[in-house]
Amino acid sequence: MDKVIKPTAPLAGVGFGQTATLDIPPGPRFHALWLEVVVTAAAGVTLALSNWDKILGLINLKINGKVQRAHTAAELDAIQTSYGTDNAANAYNHDGGVLCYSGGLPQVPVAAKETVFYLPIFLAEPWRKSYAAQESMAWYTKWQDGSLLQSFQLEVTIPTLDAAVLLAGSTIAINCLAETDTATGPLDTTQSPVALITKWKRLTVPYAGSGDLYITNLPRRDVYLQISAFQATDSISSAKVKVDGRDVRDVTKGRNDQTLIGRGMNEAGIVEKRFDIVFDYSDLPTDGLVMQAGPNQVQDFQLILNMAAAAAANKTVTLISQTYGGID
């Protein structure tokens, strides 16, 4: 099926210290959204992907007014890069609204100049092994009975301008491209819409020092595909996952990462301060960690992270949980 890639309507409320929003008309099936972000570096500064926290903050995707995906730009890029370098964001030199080239290739960012960042938000998942599996993860917004989502919205938090990194008094521009087709969603045996998506839930958990951190308040619903634990300064030395008394994971950081590399994840994208626990090893998302099968629902779901914390207390670890299930 032919895909259309074109700009959406402009985002509203774009500016440093603001929350920009985009109301996306339902109807097409959405495969990806690309954010095109243009900012100007301060004197002596060359912008890079490591500057995400100065450029974009929390990103929410909402359906019918409820958040279905929540992550920062940095968290999104880190996870997608771990699936392969082709899925990573990119940064280039930019001048007067035009991408700059050098020797026929896009030019790398230049100090004290405009830089354009391209950040993909993949709904279909290009890292899956078969084309059919990739396409099956795209988001329907219209179904074969003619029903539509009530609303579909992108919400982007923009930090206040940091004059040590970005040019004082400069502006930020954000454009959005959508990749869509005209496919309509299937109906079940009762002729009701089948509305299954991959959701990214974000949870921040405080901890006070080194040792085991027990996390017992993760939702016990849907199918877990992956949990990624982020900490800026402390290492997570090991992780355990227990489901109704059964050990699902009991691995050190090094051993866990080797299993991911062996499954084809990008070794360069697996870093020290993030612990990725992957349950989804096939092209069928229902092969992940199932929280409910018929009348049987998981009663006890524990994630135990061993934190190698420094002396300072009152820190947090951020969990991004990817689950597959019905629209919330």
DSSP character for 9? S
Going from the C-alpha of 315 to that of each of 208, 233, 236, 294, 307, the distances in angstroms are: 6, 9, 13, 39, 11
- The architecture CATH gives domain 202-326: Sandwich (2.60)
Contacts of 185 (CB under 8 A, 6+ apart): 29, 140, 142, 143, 144, 193, 194, 195
Tokens linked to 313: 């207390």
113-164 pLDDT, tens per residue? 999 999 999 999 999 999 999 999 999 999 999 999 999 999 999 999 999 9
pTM confidence score: 0.95
- What is the model's pLDDT at position 313? 67
Residues of the chain with pLDDT under 50: none
Closest CA to 280 of 236, 222, 327, 231: 222
- What is the model's pLDDT at position 310? 64
Specify the CATH number for 4-181; select among 2.40.37.10, 2.60.120.730, 3.40.50.1820, 3.40.50.970: 2.60.120.730
Other C-beta atoms within 10 Å of 184: how many?
18
- What is the model's pLDDT at position 84? 96
Name the segment(s) of the chain with CATH classification 2.60.120.730.
4-181, 202-326
